[in-house]
Structure 1
């Protein structure tokens, strides 16, 4: 540890270093909107998540080489808390594995002092990446908030190439949306109307009721758009003045993420294929913003035909692309006894 403390310094995320922090996160392949400084503002507006901390590792030159945002979460169990780092830490494991080791050790020590049963992380790591971190006690996460498998599009390809690599039905449905003259409204920079958010919300309710997914409260989406004005964008697809599909996506650095999607349950309007046209509009928007990849955010793992994502995976695969797979979340115990009790209780509840 001595050699690590001589090489690196742990600093907190502050207003003064937020710009440098974000520049680092956006420059790293493992970076995403979940680890930008603005993510702290978003998370702390959600009831039960009022505490969030950012920790960064600087090298001797003063440059960030690893960062992580930790959000305090409620277990719903005897008032006990835990910490969550969505898609964090951000670090280049091939170049800076030592910095990652320093980060994990120091942040674990800090979070232990602040209380909490465990710290859950789910970075964009491979199994090889995890093996580079020595002597770190981890357990498989009790629950995964982020998908292990996702579908990616390479946006460096031309529109012609992207369309050619789609499944025939995907191309056909995009043309159908164009034929039916679906129009698209784009609300960026945190500027959206009360009516637009309500229209998204109404479609979201229809979708969750139809497909059996659990959604969030409307305020959650409002905070998402307001707190992440430089990255989060609301899209509405309409036939004449009738909303038929909607989405909230993020565009951060080289990475676009299709975050929340919704569509009408009206059978006649569903035949207009608006969700396909909307995806193509968002892909175009991502390219305009300079994004290099488009992440569909979650598909069923290979061979799992009964997975909860099976239905939406069929829709997403129609756009072509390739599968990207990451290791499932891991938990780092902070309080051995209470963490053991927590895991036992989780098993009993199942």
Structure 2
């Protein structure tokens, strides 16, 4: 039985989902390797994006996959391939990646670190790895009138969307668009590749979380809760239920999907990263996003344009911060 973590981003259903978004998808496989890659178009040019891939069993397979990706990118007139090595059985060191002609991308698309739980241990051990507060909430939340159920009905994604809108308005973050998540639900939920978990208080939804599923791994993809009932901490027993349900379903890993470095307490993700780590488990670090230039001159122009745009944004952000401080001082005066 395969017990390696696997990513839905390299699955046939993810390809179907991307097709539904209007994207062109390339899929190819060979002896010990496979990939799914999406053609992306931006104002700075086109590139082929291979999320959480290619998946290769050994170095030779990885090199063959990279060569195939390069051919596909050239045929599409793309400037480069952006890939995310480290998924599959092959170890991908910095030296190996640079030897293959890759260079570190100016930005990571998927998180470079994630937090993983090993579901092959027994339930008692899983619970023992969590904070006592999490265990107690899981065992006693029903006493407060809260129940947790699951749904494979794509229409129920509206429950999660409502909570995401609330959190977005309250915290000022940008979730995935409604169209994106509605199509993900429609494509993935009926086949069991996604599942919605809903916490209800006296029958009314107060929190929801969407997971993505593969043959080995459940990923904690999108979640939000109603602020009115935040004292119940329903998100905690909801996540414990997702973890234990994944184990009962025969999965071997639970992927929390992205955490910040533990030694960066000011990182924008620090808060929810502490939340994810509180359920036990271990960190998995990937090499991040790497680029394979195909049209070298255009790729250099792309990198320079990215750097210039980043500098402009940093300048604008600093100006906004300075203006805000000046207004505060003026009010105090």
> By the TM > 0.5 criterion, same fold?
yes
Q: Say if 2:123 is the partner of 1:123.
A: no
CA contact (8 A) 2:6 2:216 kept: no
Question: What's the counterpart of residue 37 of structure 2?
Answer: 70
CA–CA distance in structure 1, aligned partners of residues 233 and 79 of structure 2 = 47
Counterparts in 2 of 1:193-342, with a 5 A limit? 193=155, 196-228=156-188, 229-266=191-228, 269-342=229-302
CA deviation after TM superposition for structure 1 residue 319, in Å: 0.9
CA pair 84-243 structure 1, distance change in 2 beyond 3 A: same
CA–CA distance in structure 1, aligned partners of residues 17 and 142 of structure 2 = 35
**Structure 2 residue corresponding to 1:150, chosen from 67, 89, 114:** 114
Q: Say if 2:53 is the partner of 1:53.
A: no
CA contact (8 A) 2:163 2:207 kept: yes
Question: What's the counterpart of residue 81 of structure 1?
Answer: 46
CA deviation after TM superposition for structure 1 residue 40, in Å: 1.0
Bigger CA drift: 173-182 or 305-314?
173-182
Question: What's the counterpart of residue 17 of structure 2?
Answer: 42
CA deviation after TM superposition for structure 1 residue 286, in Å: 0.7
The two structures, once aligned, show a CA RMSD in angstroms of 2.1
CA contact (8 A) 1:251 1:286 kept: no
CA–CA distance in structure 1, aligned partners of residues 112 and 281 of structure 2 = 16
CA–CA distance in structure 1, aligned partners of residues 244 and 259 of structure 2 = 22
Deviations 1:214-233 (A, max 9, x none): 21121211211222233111
Structure 2 unaligned residues grouped into runs of 5+: 311-333
CA deviation after TM superposition for structure 1 residue 185, in Å: 2.7
CA pair 235-329 structure 1, distance change in 2 beyond 3 A: same
CA contact (8 A) 2:137 2:237 kept: yes
CA–CA distance in structure 1, aligned partners of residues 13 and 67 of structure 2 = 25
CA–CA distance in structure 1, aligned partners of residues 11 and 243 of structure 2 = 22
Question: What's the counterpart of residue 91 of structure 1?
Answer: 56
SS at match of 2:298: helix
Aligned length: 306
TM-score where L is the length of structure 2: 0.86
Bigger CA drift: 156-165 or 338-347?
156-165
CA deviation after TM superposition for structure 1 residue 262, in Å: 0.9
CA pair 256-161 structure 1, distance change in 2 beyond 3 A: same
CA pair 27-133 structure 1, distance change in 2 beyond 3 A: farther
CA deviation after TM superposition for structure 1 residue 256, in Å: 1.1
**Structure 1 residue corresponding to 2:105, chosen from 121, 128, 141:** 141
Report which of the two has the higher share of helix.
2
Structure 1 unaligned residues grouped into runs of 5+: 1-25, 59-64
Question: What's the counterpart of residue 31 of structure 1?
Answer: 6
CA deviation after TM superposition for structure 1 residue 207, in Å: 2.0
Question: What's the counterpart of residue 348 of structure 1?
Answer: 308
Deviations 1:136-173 (A, max 9, x none): 21121122121111111111122211111112232233
**Structure 1 residue corresponding to 2:65, chosen from 92, 103, 108:** 103
Counterparts in 2 of 1:3-42, with a 5 A limit? 27=2, 29=4, 31-42=6-17
CA–CA distance in structure 2, aligned partners of residues 127 and 98 of structure 1 = 9
CA contact (8 A) 2:82 2:105 kept: yes
